[in-house]
């Protein structure tokens, strides 16, 4: 057996000191690396400070494509559940990858919702949630990429009026646990819009909440001014915004929501970012655009700022311009119009139809067109719940995939959409779709 004690004792004093120094540095490194974040007030204006330097959130919701976010001028991401922090991104845990790129993370800690069966009168369930929150904070509080804790996301319920006092009282207890475990990072909670008595109850029952996050879509531009008018006098972040929600837009006679084109959404993203930061500049710490990635909700393109195949959409370009004041070198294509003989109409099964796309690429690239006919989603999800991707009907496409298209309506009655993706072959794309009814 090798005598390890003999090997160590025979080392020179200099070697011993070097080893001792290395061990000391390694032991002390996590304490040195921990980010220290605070909200300070300069006059009548709140300011987020990261390691004593001002930080304004140019953020997105999502955990992938972080290098693109960095390149386009973003500086922060927001997550919804603590499990995301262990997610593998580009071969590293999320927080480590964010740190590599200089991105700060608002770490979401999910707070259970009654609509999903949680009972705030169940002492065991409440205690278990408190323990889970404490363990989450203990696990990640020392990471240098941590910006804030996002304690809860619409825990009052996305379609409630926020009147259940039990939720707010327990939220304050949970926020107290976070502060006890980690005094070096602010605690934010996120509510669904600013209607009902949400703000009133937060003011009355949640003194431990440092920052208010608001998720809003059609009404997002007015969120900062609205919470101020309701008496909120602490910092504020617009934590989700983007296109007008499928519950807010005009609908066809059969109830299908009418989706804006990707280029129309891009204009909305930019305008919202400008308005909300201007109207609430004294309390606004920044914003998180939704969604930096792909998601099926209402349609496959309603909220995502990227396609499932990876191309960035005009919404990402618009946010880059809002953050930096300049457009990216490679911008997404621009779709001026999509016209079709079936748009928002009721048509017979198997009817011959046509469509035309008017699109250009800012960089002059040749465009590729992808058309599809898909069934309408009937998920009726609430609060962003997961949905299945509706079936597609490739048999309906009878002509070549070009800027003009010949197709036939499905033979089975029902609600459908004609969908278009335009790609520039350089990582950019734009989208549009129109609903129609076969009857």
Residue 33 pLDDT: 76
Cα–Cα distance for residue pair 58/69, rounded to 1 Å: 10
Nearest CA among 193, 222, 191, 228 for reference residue 206: 191
Domain ranges of the chain: 36-324, 334-438
CATH 2.60.40.10 fits 334-438, yes or no: yes
From the centroid of its chain, how far is CA 96? Answer: 19
- Residues 280 and 88: their CA atoms lie apart, in Å, by 36
CB 292 within 8 A of CB 62: yes
Enter the tokens of residue 234: 């602490």
The DSSP code for 425 is S
For residues 132 and 177, is the Cβ–Cβ distance under 8 A?
Answer: no
- Name the residue with tokens 């995301």: 84
Task: Give the per-residue pLDDT at 381.
Answer: 60
E-state strands within 111-235: 146-153, 187-192, 211-215
Instruction: Give the integer Cα–Cα distance in Å for 241 and 228.
Output: 18
Give the 3-state secondary structure of residue 314.
Answer: helix
> Residue 437: which H helix or E strand, with range?
strand 429-438
Q: Residue 167 and residue 149: Cα distance in Å, rounded?
A: 18
Identical fold between 36-324 and 334-438: no
Query: What is the CA angle 259-264-268, rounded to 5?
Result: 105
Buried-state track 165-194, b at ≥16 Cβ within 10 A, e below 16:
eebbebbbebbebbbebbeebbbbbbbbbb
Comparing CA positions, the residue from 79, 181, 192 lying closest to residue 132 is: 181
Express each pLDDT in 190-210 by its tens digit.
999 999 999 999 999 999 999
CA atoms within 13 A on the CB side of 62: 24
Q: What are phi and psi of 18, to 5 degrees?
A: -65, -45
From the options 3.30.930.10, 3.30.260.10, 3.20.20.80, 1.25.50.10, give the CATH code of 36-324: 3.20.20.80
Q: Can you give the pLDDT at residue 336?
A: 97
| φ, ψ dihedrals at 69, nearest 5° | -60, -45
Nearest Cα residue to 187 out of 123, 252, 233, 141: 141
Helix 198-205, helix 165-181: angle, nearest 10: 50
- Please list the ranges in the chain whose pLDDT falls under 70: 1-32, 380-382
- Burial of 92: CB neighbours in 10 Å, binned 0-12, 13-18, 19+: middle
3-state secondary structure (DSSP) of residue 245: coil
> Among all chains, which residue has been given the structure tokens 């910092």?
235
Distance between CA atoms of residues 264 and 432, nearest Å:
10
Residue 115, φ and ψ in degrees, nearest 5: -65, -20
Of 375, 376, 439, 378, nearest in space to 413 by CA: 439
Dihedral over Cα of 296, 301, 306, 307: its sign: positive
């Amino acid at each position: 057996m090798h005598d390890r004690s003999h090997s160590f004792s025979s080392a020179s004093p200099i070697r011993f000191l070097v080893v001792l120094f290395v061990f000391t540095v390694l032991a002390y490194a996590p304490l040195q690396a921990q980010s220290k974040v605070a909200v300070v007030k300069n006059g009548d204006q709140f300011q987020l400070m990261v390691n004593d330097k001002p930080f304004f959130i140019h953020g997105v919701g999502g955990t992938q494509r972080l290098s693109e976010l960095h390149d386009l001028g973003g500086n922060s991401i927001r997550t919804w559940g603590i499990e995301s922090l262990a997610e593998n991104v580009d071969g590293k845990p999320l927080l480590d990858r964010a740190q590599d790129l200089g991105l700060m993370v608002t770490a979401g800690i999910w707070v259970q919702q009654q609509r999903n069966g949680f009972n705030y009168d169940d002492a065991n369930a409440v205690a278990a949630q408190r323990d889970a929150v404490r363990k989450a904070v203990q696990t990640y509080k020392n990471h240098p990429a941590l910006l804030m804790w996002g304690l809860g996301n619409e825990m009052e319920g996305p379609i409630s009026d926020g009147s259940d006092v039990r939720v707010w009282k327990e939220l304050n207890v949970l926020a107290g646990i976070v502060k006890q475990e980690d005094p070096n990072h602010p605690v934010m909670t996120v509510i669904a819009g600013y209607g009902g008595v949400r703000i009133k109850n937060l003011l009355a029952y949640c003194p431990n909440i440092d920052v208010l996050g608001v998720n809003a879509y059609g009404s997002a531009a007015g969120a900062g001014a609205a919470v101020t008018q309701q008496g909120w006098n602490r910092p504020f972040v617009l934590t989700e915004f983007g296109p007008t929600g499928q519950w807010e837009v005009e609908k066809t006679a059969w109830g299908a929501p009418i989706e804006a084109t990707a280029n129309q959404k891009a204009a909305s993203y930019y305008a919202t970012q400008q308005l909300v930061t201007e109207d609430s500049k004294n309390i606004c710490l920044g914003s998180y655009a939704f969604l930096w990635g792909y998601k099926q909700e209402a349609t496959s393109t309603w909220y995502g700022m990227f396609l499932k195949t990876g191309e960035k959409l005009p919404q990402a370009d618009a946010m880059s311009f809002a953050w930096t004041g300049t457009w990216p070198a490679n911008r997404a294509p621009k779709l001026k119009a999509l016209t079709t003989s079936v748009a928002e109409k009721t048509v017979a099964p198997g009817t011959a139809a046509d469509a035309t796309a008017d699109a250009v690429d800012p960089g002059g690239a040749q465009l590729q067109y992808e058309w599809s006919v898909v069934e309408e989603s009937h998920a009726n999800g609430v609060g962003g719940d997961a949905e299945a991707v509706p079936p597609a009907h490739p048999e309906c496409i009878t002509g070549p995939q070009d800027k003009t298209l010949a197709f036939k309506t499905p033979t089975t009655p029902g609600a459908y959409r004609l969908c278009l993706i335009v790609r520039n072959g350089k990582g950019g794309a734009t989208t549009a779709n129109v609903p129609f009814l076969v009857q």
